[in-house]
Structure 1
């Protein structure tokens, strides 16, 4: 019996459906009251005990100055035509599961109709869609954001919260895959500079993207599954360690209900990059 089944046996099977059916404001009101009651029963030692044991709240394992040095290396190399945004720490509920098919249990949901950011490219994609709808031709956005992932992972350089650099390019299909060619080259050129010596492991889901296999420092990886990418995706390795990835997504097409919309995303794990940045 799973944890949810055990809880529903205690409170009644219909409780989950009744709560899920409540209007958002009513559900938030109820959950706020629950959290207040639970907080009122805590003591200072209880809070300290949780701080010492909860992987979501302990400080980063990579030193602050090392992360800042890696952030500076990324931002200093970013082209001037890419606008940097300071993103909010939360996004609308469903941002990750609806747009990028991430299991909702793998993000930290709040009780106010939002969820804690798990990847800056999702929020950047929302902002890009807003700007595309307003008439901006090509939208180039980037950000550095501390994010949280709820799934349990093991191994070196795997943390519950970490810093990600994200970049999004959004525009309209102009034919002959000109958007895809120009922006993929731009993203990969930037990543090759900041992650040097970089190796790109590229997966082509569509044979019309095989031209990308001729780009510098590229090897083909035919084993990767599509996930939320389409057409082409890639991973960035430095000295055999994965430090970034990217690819084309259909997010703007769905957000704007327009089949001609195109979007490319890419990202770098700043904590991982910091472990190998000279001087870190």
Structure 2
């Protein structure tokens, strides 16, 4: 929030220390009780006509323009291509307060915060990371345990920032994958999981063409985030096998990528495809993070996350079936 606006609010409230009282002197449960009563009273004054007006103008509550049939069909396609090693789970609509800010260093203003010390899921990979860490902790009776936890979800997320794209809503469906495990040395965990997840997305995109969403000219771009130290192993153990198995796909290193630096560590990747209009689009973003290291206080933990915006894909690649 703008500092001058905050000063004005505190001044008009007539309680200069109001913010300090709410943040520092009230415990989470007491603050929750106070705010629940505030909004209970406010809700009691809302008329039906005001409710309808709010529904029609609030960007957070308008329904998606994607057809339910298209979303359901695409989810069915996803599960048909998902390896049995992955467990598909249905997430709660909310997660603990700080899920984004604490591990992903995302500003809380970009998240829809609730009154009950929770926040609406803004990025499913953050929540999958929590679940991965919880399951990995159960394995930590043996701290050398390398058993991998693989999770996947298709979830509607809500983000607080206003998008500049015309017609864009703050909520959209996201396909998210996470695989967590322990460092295996020689970058083996990293290269094998990259092959695993990139291969899955390529299968999904290929199969989508059979369902009215043709995509072609696939391009996989991997970025070494360790100043070139991993370029050779990424080329030999990820890009070369991908190119050998998919002769029509361009597989390359992308040392000039700027997005994701500071968010991802080790390596990250993009997958691009071209639609029938000849427009190449970035569809999948993924990379390694330190989230499970932070959650489990164990520097040997490894985590690969990735995601595909379902409605964005349906919108720009759909032919026989409408996306948005």
Interval of TM-score (by shorter of Structure 1 and Structure 2): over 0.9
Aligned counterpart for 1:134 among listed residues 135, 138, 142:
138
Aligned counterpart for 1:218 among listed residues 230, 243, 251:
251
Q: Secondary structure at the match of 1:126?
A: helix
Q: Aligned residue for 2:172?
A: 162
Q: Secondary structure at the match of 2:229?
A: helix
- Per-residue deviation at 1:101? 1.1
Q: Deviations over 1:131-165 (max 9, x none)?
A: 11101711000011111000011126742100001
Q: Aligned residue for 1:200?
A: 220
- Per-residue deviation at 1:5? 2.6
Q: Deviations over 1:60-88 (max 9, x none)?
A: 02222222222222221111110011110
Q: Aligned residue for 2:295?
A: 255
Contact 1:157-1:271 at 8 Å conserved across structures: no
- Per-residue deviation at 1:241? 1.8
Q: Gaps spanning 5+ residues in structure 1: where?
A: none
Moved more, 65-74 or 33-42: 65-74
Contact 1:204-1:222 at 8 Å conserved across structures: no
Q: Aligned residue for 1:78?
A: 82
When the two structures are superposed, what TM-score results if normalisation uses the length of structure 2?
0.82
Instruction: Give me the CA root mean square deviation.
Output: 1.7
Q: Deviations over 1:160-192 (max 9, x none)?
A: 100001110000011111100110110111111
Q: Deviations over 1:93-122 (max 9, x none)?
A: 000111111110000000100000011111
Q: Deviations over 1:29-57 (max 9, x none)?
A: 00000001110111001110010000100
Check if 1:238 corresponds to 2:273: yes
Moved over 6 A (4+): none
Structure whose CA Rg is larger: 2
Q: Aligned residue for 2:263?
A: 228
Q: Aligned residue for 1:69?
A: 73
